[in-house]
Amino acid sequence: MHSTPARACGIDFGTSNSTVGWWRPDAEPLIALEGDDLTLPSVVFFNLEERRPVYGRQALAEYLEGYEGRLMRSLKSLLGSKLLKSETTVLGSAMPFKEILGLFIGTLKQRAEAQAGQAFEQVVLGRPVHFVDDDPAADREAADTLAGVAQALGFKEVSFQFEPIAAAFDYESRIAGEERVLIVDIGGGTSDFSLVRLSPERRQVDDRQADILATAGVHIGGTDFDKQLSLHGVMPLFGHGSRMKSEAPMPTSTHLNLATWHTINAVYAPASLRALQSMRYDIQDPTGIDRLFRLIEQRAGHWLAMQVEQGKIALTEAREHVIDLGRIEADLVAELTRERFESAIDPLLERIRRTVDELLTAAGLGSGDVDTVFFTGGSSAIPALRQGIARVLPNARHVEGDRFGSIGSGLAIEARKRYG
């Protein structure tokens, strides 16, 4: 075992939260990135009044305090999307989306180096099994883009490890015997799965390829669950599902944009507003669309998305949750239930269950051959998701990982192995 700290770090750039791991003897691997917090929410707020970008919890706080500016979240979702090659307006001028990624990842690097008291020139970046489903060329381009951003920030050597494999290495550091483990990593943007053979004896082996029995991923994550909860539980109050005088349903593009983190700003565009205004007099009951106008006027889209996200988190423990929408209209509330939420996300959960089934087949294993299911990622606590996996693997025991830290910890272990 090495007795000196590692030269390299691991970065888990997540859709919702990010961490940096650095292996040191007899120390926790995650580095504090915001005060004492080991996670940095993957958020940038371009504060127009003070003409500066801020990050993480501070970004959310300044936005909610009402500072004028531009909030951007779910930055990782840009990788593999067409948006990545375009630019957007921040602080009054055009900035490429790729540069915004660089600002955030550069902040992770700077804060980690300040805490560590050393520069990092080598990094192992976590990556989903698929940045883009069923499109190897786009997937490769997303990985190349992320590597290019890291190199431009001063990382001389950049390599990748699948996020669920990194989580597996974190779990392996605590087990006493050999286990076949299904790693279930439900992140903000993707759900990734790995079937791995783990044991204390294998920890020191450099090439672990033979122990990775199968990997799979699907582009479904916490932000997709938020979107469905928003569309089914909140957006009907804002006209989603309203009928036009022609009996056709009201066009849904505004509601879809509001329910999707990285498209919320689109609803404030003048063309979007004009399209809504032209619709106003053709709607049978304008109550919902009038609330929509008030929400847009207040630029409250990100605020609403945060309320929905908190609602999703609350429904992992409670059967019901009420969102107070009094800032839009007196006494207005959205009454959310776990039953409605589970019904809304069931098509997504079915794809996840099917992916786990296919993973078992690819590994040549039966449902009784898996010893342990290790859960990590912010949305892995959703009861219906766990129940679905338990139906596929009824005999496996469930182990709780650090929802936001397992991947970063595993990447620290991998970075030490690769770079010393």
| Type of residue numbered 141 | E
Cβ neighbours for 368, distance < 8 A, ≥ 6 positions apart:
395
H-type alpha helices, 20-96 = 56-65
Q: What does pLDDT average to over the chain?
A: 93
What global pTM score does this model have? 0.88
What pLDDT is attached to residue 261? Answer: 86
- 385 vs 202, residue with greater confidence: 385
Walk me through the domains of the chain, giving residue ranges and CATH numbers. 8-155 (3.30.420.40), 223-342 (no CATH)
pLDDT of 1 over the 60 cut: no
Give how far the C-alpha of residue 168 lies from the chain's centroid of Cα atoms, to the nearest Å. 19
Mean pLDDT score, 216-231: 95
Indicate the range of 118-122, 236-240, 268-272 predicted with least confidence: 268-272
pLDDT of 103 over the 60 cut: yes
> Contact at 8 Å (CB) between 200 and 176?
yes
Q: State the DSSP code for 85.
A: G
As separate numbers, helices (DSSP H) first and strands (DSSP E) second, the chain gives 12, 17
pLDDT digits (tens, 9 = 90+) for 19-59: 999 999 989 999 999 999 999 999 999 999 899 999 999 99
In three-state secondary structure terms, 112 is: helix
Indicate the range of 71-80, 214-223, 254-263 predicted with least confidence: 71-80
Virtual CA dihedral for 388, 392, 394, 397, nearest 10 degrees?
-80
pLDDT digits (tens, 9 = 90+) for 298-350: 999 999 999 999 999 999 999 999 999 999 999 999 999 999 999 999 999 99
Instruction: Tell me how far apart the alpha carbons of residues 388 and 349 are, in angstroms, rounded to a whole number.
Output: 7
In three-state secondary structure terms, 86 is: coil
3-state helix, strand, coil in the chain (%, to 5): 45, 20, 30
Produce one character per residue of 376-410: b if its CB has 16 or more CB atoms within 10 Å, e if not. Answer: bbbbbebebbbebbeebbeebeebebbbbbbbbbb
